[in-house]
Amino acid sequence: MHRGHGYLSISTTVSNYTNGVTIMKSIRTIGTLAALVALVGSLSACDGMSRQGRDTAIGAGLGGAAGAALGGSALSTVGGAAAGGIIGNQVGK
């Protein structure tokens, strides 16, 4: 006698997986937006900085936000910030 439990458990599993993926994407989006808000807020502190220092800070902030958006891990965020800081420093020369 077949009760159909196999179909129900598969659809429930797929539904739970889809909901989990949606939640993770939402968390990533919120994190990226928070990083961008922090970047914009920190740019107001650049008034007394030299042009090279300001460009380094902006590059690090943008690189960190890009790393977080693309990679989604702490390592990609730090790597993006480091690369952006180096690029910003060289552009500011």
* Domain containing residue 34: 5-91
> What is the Cα–Cα distance from 40 to 84, expressed in whole angstroms?
16
Mean pLDDT, rounded, of the chain: 76
> Could you report the per-residue pLDDT of 3-38, keeping only the tens digit for each?
555 444 555 555 666 666 677 777 777 877 777 777
What's the domain count of the chain? 1
Stated as kind and residue range, the H or E segment containing 53 is helix 51-71
pLDDT at 75: 87
Residue 64 to residue 6: CA distance in whole angstroms: 45
